[in-house]
A = this chain, B = another copy of it.
Amino acid sequence: MKKPQFNLSTPYKWPLSGHFSLTTTAVIVIDMQRDFLEDGGYFASMGEDISHAQKAIQPAKHFLETARNLNMMVIHTRESHRTNLDDLNANKFIKSQNQGAPIGSNGPMGRLLVRGEYGSDIIDDLKPLNKETVIDKPGNSAFYATDLDIILKTNRIESLVLLGVTTDVCISSTMRDANDRGFDCLLLEDCCGAATESLHHSVLKSMEREGGIFGCYGQSLDFCQFLSNAVEQTS
């Protein structure tokens, strides 16, 4: 039997190995928090436009339903800091202060980017299931100062499906670190959002170079279709 491979991704068919398997693939939902997607959150407080990021919510919600139906491993990340801010480096704090949204200060949804606050939690539309891992991370990359790498290794994960916000910051940083670690990354383009359309697309352009230097990207509906077929083929 031919091993299934997703044909509609750019610039290469995914996964590169040619051997797609549900059990070695994990979905990483990045920073779909109120602090990035809702009025009064950290991102909006800095004066950034949240409308492009919000466009990712419905496609992400639909994809997550499919992934959960297939019992795929789903991991959520939250950019957030400890309540005592001991994990917040000086430069990150100064920048947030200069943008008028000091991390740790009070906003309408609680202290900005602080763990345990309403604003730092994931939006209702993408609420994690009890069995799903949620990783709080102090940096842009979900691999920095977290247990993500050990979780992926323990579960023998080899390929990642990435979505969330923002495309050019936390998603790109996480994808780059994942790629260096040998994971084959698929970005679901319509399930990602950024501060501007142009920043979002610049990530895709960079991914097209050198045969897919960081991974490849595709559309969530195409990928859902692929998943359904792949499961039929292998069951």
> In the complex where A16-B91, A16-B94 touch, is A99 in contact with B133 (Cβ < 8 A)?
no
A46 to chain B minimum Cβ distance, whole angstroms, is 6
Contact, CB under 8 Å: B209 / A141 = no
Among B92, B155, B213, the residue within 8 A (CB) of A86 is B155
Among B88, B94, B151, B212, the residue within 8 A (CB) of A87 is B151
Among B90, B95, B145, B212, the residue within 8 A (CB) of A213 is B95
Among B48, B84, B138, the residue within 8 A (CB) of A147 is B138
A182 to chain B minimum Cβ distance, whole angstroms, is 4
Contact, CB under 8 Å: B154 / A98 = no
A206 vs B206: C-alpha distance in the bound complex, in angstroms?
13
A111 vs B95: C-alpha distance in the bound complex, in angstroms?
42
A7 to chain B minimum Cβ distance, whole angstroms, is 15
Contact, CB under 8 Å: B199 / A206 = yes
A175 to chain B minimum Cβ distance, whole angstroms, is 10
A98 vs B212: C-alpha distance in the bound complex, in angstroms?
10
Which B residues lie within 8 Å of A198 (CB)? 205
Contact, CB under 8 Å: B169 / A213 = yes
Among B84, B149, B195, B202, the residue within 8 A (CB) of A145 is B149
Which B residues lie within 8 Å of A150 (CB)? 87, 89, 138, 144-145, 181-182
A170 to chain B minimum Cβ distance, whole angstroms, is 10
Contact, CB under 8 Å: A211 / B46 = yes
> In the complex where A151-B86, A154-B90, A184-B91 touch, is A98 in contact with B211 (Cβ < 8 A)?
yes
Contact, CB under 8 Å: A177 / B144 = yes
Which B residues lie within 8 Å of A155 (CB)? 86
- Interface 1/0 per residue, A194-235 and B, CB below 8 Å: 010011001001100111111000000000000000000000
A178 to chain B minimum Cβ distance, whole angstroms, is 11
A104 to chain B minimum Cβ distance, whole angstroms, is 13
Contact, CB under 8 Å: B195 / A199 = no
Contact, CB under 8 Å: B84 / A177 = no
Top-4 shortest CB links A-B: A202-B202, A139-B180, A89-B182, A145-B147
